[in-house]
């Protein structure tokens, strides 16, 4: 079965049309994803904040139960982030040692 020049031109035209359609769809999908992120972002931030606060409260309760309130305060209220991180690591190690 031979493909004529006219058929080959029609195939090329169809391929070009499909390529343009996919480019348009890709752009529309990108816009839709951006809108979804814009809408959900504040809610996700709230959920992350709630999760962080719940984790802190749980950690605080465990620290108080283990008598490590001072370590807890050092972990969360130090001025520098690196110091907070180091103090938090110490607190978690101490809590593991207590168990």
Give the dihedral of Cα atoms 17, 18, 23, 29; nearest 10 deg: 130
CA–CA separation, 72 vs 78, rounded Å? Answer: 10
Residue ranges per structural domain of the chain: 5-98
In the chain, the N- to C-terminal Cα span, in Å, equals 80
Nearest to 87 by CA among 65, 59, 50: 59
Q: What pLDDT is stored for residue 34 in this prediction? A: 94
Mean per-residue pLDDT pooled into runs of 10, the chain (99 residues): 87 95 96 93 91 87 80 74 80 79
pTM of the model: 0.49
Q: What pLDDT is stored for residue 96 in this prediction? A: 80
């Amino acid at each position: 079965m031979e493909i004529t020049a006219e058929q080959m031109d029609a195939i090329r035209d169809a391929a070009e049309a499909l390529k343009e359609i996919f480019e348009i769809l890709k752009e529309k999908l990108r816009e839709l994803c951006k809108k979804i992120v814009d809408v959900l972002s504040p809610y996700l931030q709230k959920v992350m904040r709630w999760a962080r606060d719940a984790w802190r409260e749980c950690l605080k309760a465990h620290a108080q139960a283990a008598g490590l309130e001072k370590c807890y305060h050092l972990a969360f209220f130090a001025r520098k982030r690196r110091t907070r991180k180091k103090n938090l690591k110490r607190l978690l190690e101490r809590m593991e040692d207590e168990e």
